A and B are shown apart, each in its own frame.
Chain A
Amino acid sequence: MLQRLRDLDFMPPREAGVSPLVVRDLTVAYHRTPVLRRVNWTAPSSGLIAVCGPNGAGKSTLIKACLGLVRPLAGTVEVFGRPLARQRRLVGYVPQRESVDWEFPVSALDVVAMGRYGLIGWGRRVSKAHRQAAMDALDRVGLADLADRQIGQLSGGQQQRVFLARALAQEAQLYFMDEPLAGVDAATEQAVLDVLRELDAQGRTVICVHHDLQTVADTFDHVLLLNGGVVAEGSPATTLTPDNLRATYGARGQGLMG
């Protein structure tokens, strides 16, 4: 099945030396309240990346700006060396689970197939091959049995895995995931971690908003501490220092590492 995903992959191999994501002087405001000020960040080209920071630090806003979902006041985002608008197919997205209406009358497979819509194009039907690719992705997260189930009848963890399968079906090179491990059961956590490591092993870049500082070092190779701007970045060992945590989270920052 993995072989299958690779066979379907039409993306050119990553060009040597081009960062998957370069953010320059990015400033974003909601209703004139600045959320991000002059963020400059070049994502490393390998390893799993976590974006951490307190509530309201602009973590979700950063990935939404990188995805073109919120318009920045200033600054640019480059994906594999080019403006995002020309690289949409290289980018995959796992939004927060609460962002959609789970009562919507679609099945798990329907939702995963939506990951293929960018590859299919406007006004065309979902072909058998695309449907099969969606099924394979669903199988990859262990939900093949529930393909026909209406999404509202899945557990929270299963819903999270459906979103993950949808991202797999996108066959992107750069993934943005908004808290994929928040509030999930053990089986889902394992499935998510497996997929993250597999994507990493395939040379794809995964950037996750992550809230649990205690598990950052177990899962991620690189961490970006954010609070309205970049506070620090680097490997978890060198970045999650008491000083950096205080600078990011305020006085209670030290306590967060337990």
Chain B
Amino acid sequence: MSAQEFIAIDLPALLAALFACLSCALVGNFLVLRRQSLLGDAVSHAVLPGIVAGFLVAGSRETIPMVVGALGAALVAVLLIELVRRVGKVESGAAMGVVFTGLFALGVLMIEQGAARSVDLDADCVLYGQLEDVIWLGPTRFADLADPAVWLTLPREAMQLIVVFAIGLLLVWAFFKELTIASFDPGLADTVGVSSALVQTALVVLTAVVTVAAFEAVGSILVIAMLICPAATARLLTDRLGTQMRLSLLIGGVTGIGGYALGAMLPVWLGAENAVNAAGSIATLGGVILTLAILFAPRYGALARRRRDADLGMEA
């Protein structure tokens, strides 16, 4: 592989994968802590018709219309859930299940209709991501990368993920205290003037933005894996929230880069013709790392627990 090939094909895709994973890991920490992991799943499904609507209206994969559409869809989803819950008198889990799958189905129908009108948006791209299509036609040699101006020509998919991650990191850093108290004890948060409803809403919006920004890279389905795996892995490795956040970013980064590399190289090493879908290999690696943590984490791992139980058994 030449330097030019790497910079044109692999580097932008790697950057998109890396920042998609970092953004998801960042937000995922709070979803995991609040036991709202499925919120990411729900949001990523519900925003699909909004993304497609934004795409159909704008006629291109511009970020802003799709984000607006996605946030609109998220809002509609929240209102619909409330409506189904009240009118249908069902519990909120059931209402969520109905609304999110319904909206997702609507999104798929809209994609099919759009495809019929030969618009450039297909179900595969939305569902599984299209990292392989991210191409950087600018620099041709590694030396070119030293010029800051050349980075401004970075493909939109990678650029938007870098911006989303930067904004997310800034928000989480600035309001870490508020996120923590509202996640740990919403009642106390409300009594000291930190509106837990506001924090919850902000978290849903941030999740929606990250989901939309990341869906092109890893797909709207696999985005859920990256929202949960790095944060859940980090949760098993530490008892400090700050450490957990840093670890989750590290794990997310390793998963993004490692998963992409595996997807590109492993099949070739194994003698297969083509590289596999990068989003799939990233999500799989995320799952493998989480599994290792579940088994071998020092305090919360299954083996450590077993050993402790055995020790207790010896004493007794």
Contacts and interface: CB of A to CB of B under 8 A. Distances in A.
B193 interface: yes
Contacts of B239: 105, 107, 150, 152
A186 interface: no
Interface stretch (B75-83, B136-144, B173-181): B173-181
Contacts, number: 82
Contacts of A88: 191-193
A228 to B, nearest CB: 23
Sorted nearest first, the 8 A-B pairs with minimum C-beta distance are A118-B192, A150-B239, A105-B241, A93-B191, A100-B185, A114-B181, A105-B239, A104-B184
B221 to A, nearest CB: 28
Interface range on chain A (Cβ under 8 Å from partner):
20 to 34
Contacts of B193: 88, 118
Nearest to A102: B184
Contacts of A67: 187, 190-191
Nearest to B239: A150
24 contacts: A68-B191, A69-B187, A91-B191, A93-B187, A93-B191, A99-B187, A100-B185, A101-B184, A104-B183, A104-B184, A106-B240, A106-B241, A107-B240, A111-B184, A114-B185, A114-B192, A115-B188, A117-B178, A117-B189, A118-B194, A120-B177, A122-B194, A125-B177, A166-B188
A88 B235 CA distance: 34
Interface string A18-44: 000000000000000000000000000
Contacts of A104: 33, 183-184, 241
Interface in B212-260: 235, 238-241, 243-244
B35 interface: yes
Contacts of A92: 191
Interface in A73-108: 88, 91-93, 95, 99-101, 104-107
A217 B243 CA distance: 48
Nearest to A152: B239
Given A105-B238, A122-B175, A126-B177, A114 B190 contact: no
A65 B244 CA distance: 35
Contacts of B35: 101
Contact of A105 (B174, B189, B190, B235): B235
Given A88-B193, A105-B239, A105-B240, A114 B174 contact: no
A154 B240 CA distance: 15
Which of B177, B185, B189, B191 counts the most chain A CB atoms within 10 A? B191
Contacts of B194: 117-118, 122
Contacts of B241: 104-106, 110
A93 B190 CA distance: 10
Interface of B: 33, 35, 174-175, 177-178, 180-181, 183-185, 187-194, 235, 238-241, 243-244
Grouping DSSP codes into helix (H, G, I), strand (E, B) and loop, the B interface class, with mixed when no group exceeds half, is helix
B295 to A, nearest CB: 19
Contacts of A152: 239
Which of A64, A67, A105, A117 counts the most chain B CB atoms within 10 A? A105
Contacts of B33: 101, 104-105
Contacts of B189: 117
Interface of A: 64, 67-69, 88, 91-93, 95, 99-101, 104-107, 110-111, 114-115, 117-118, 120, 122-126, 150, 152, 166, 170
Contacts of B191: 67-69, 88, 91-93, 118
A105 B32 CA distance: 11
A15 to B, nearest CB: 22
A82 B190 CA distance: 18
A107 B180 CA distance: 12
B91 to A, nearest CB: 12
A125 B243 CA distance: 17
A38 to B, nearest CB: 24
B238 to A, nearest CB: 7
Nearest to A172: B191
Contacts of B177: 117, 120, 123-126
Contact of A93 (B175, B188, B235, B243): B188
Given A117-B194, A118-B194, 7 more contacts: A104-B183, A105-B243, A107-B240, A114-B184, A114-B188, A115-B192, A126-B177
Nearest to B33: A104
Given A68-B190, A68-B191, A88-B191, A105 B181 contact: no
A63 to B, nearest CB: 10
A7 B62 CA distance: 57
A95 B187 contact: yes
B192 A170 contact: yes
Contacts of A110: 180, 241
Which of B174, B185, B188 counts the most chain A CB atoms within 10 A? B188
Contacts of A100: 184-185
A166 B189 CA distance: 12
A69 B186 CA distance: 9
A91 B193 CA distance: 11
A99 B184 CA distance: 10
A123 B238 CA distance: 25
Contacts of A122: 175, 178, 194
Nearest to A116: B192
